[in-house]
Amino acid sequence: MLIFFKTILEVIFMQRRKHKLSARLQIYIEVQALDISLKAKTIDDTPNHKMLRELILEDCKIDYNCDGYGEPLAEEKSE
């Protein structure tokens, strides 16, 4: 619990130290970023992706407005 409060205080007073983070906080941020990147999935990561490709693409288009690789679809201009 004490480490949590130390970390919070460090973030609050970070401005005084010209935006320099301690090694502990920097490692924590890097580990969280790594966890997020390892969880990222694309069509190619899906088992049997050739069979499921069309279903996945359709879900990506409808639910997330993306192309299946995390890129947004080009918005259609309505005139």
Residue 50 exposed, middle or buried by CB count within 10 Å (0-12, 13-18, 19+): exposed
Number of domains in the chain: 2
Q: Which residue has the tokens 């694309």?
A: 42
Give the mean model confidence (pLDDT) for residues 5-26.
64
Give the mean model confidence (pLDDT) for residues 65-79.
65
68: confidence class by pLDDT, cuts 50, 70, 90 = low
Q: Verify that 34 and 48 share a domain, yes or no.
A: no
Range of the domain at 29: 1-40
Q: Verify that 59 and 36 share a domain, yes or no.
A: no
Q: What is the mean pLDDT of the chain?
A: 66
Q: Verify that 14 and 47 share a domain, yes or no.
A: no
Q: Verify that 47 and 33 share a domain, yes or no.
A: no
Largest Cα–Cα distance of the chain, in whole Å?
Answer: 59
Q: Verify that 28 and 54 share a domain, yes or no.
A: no
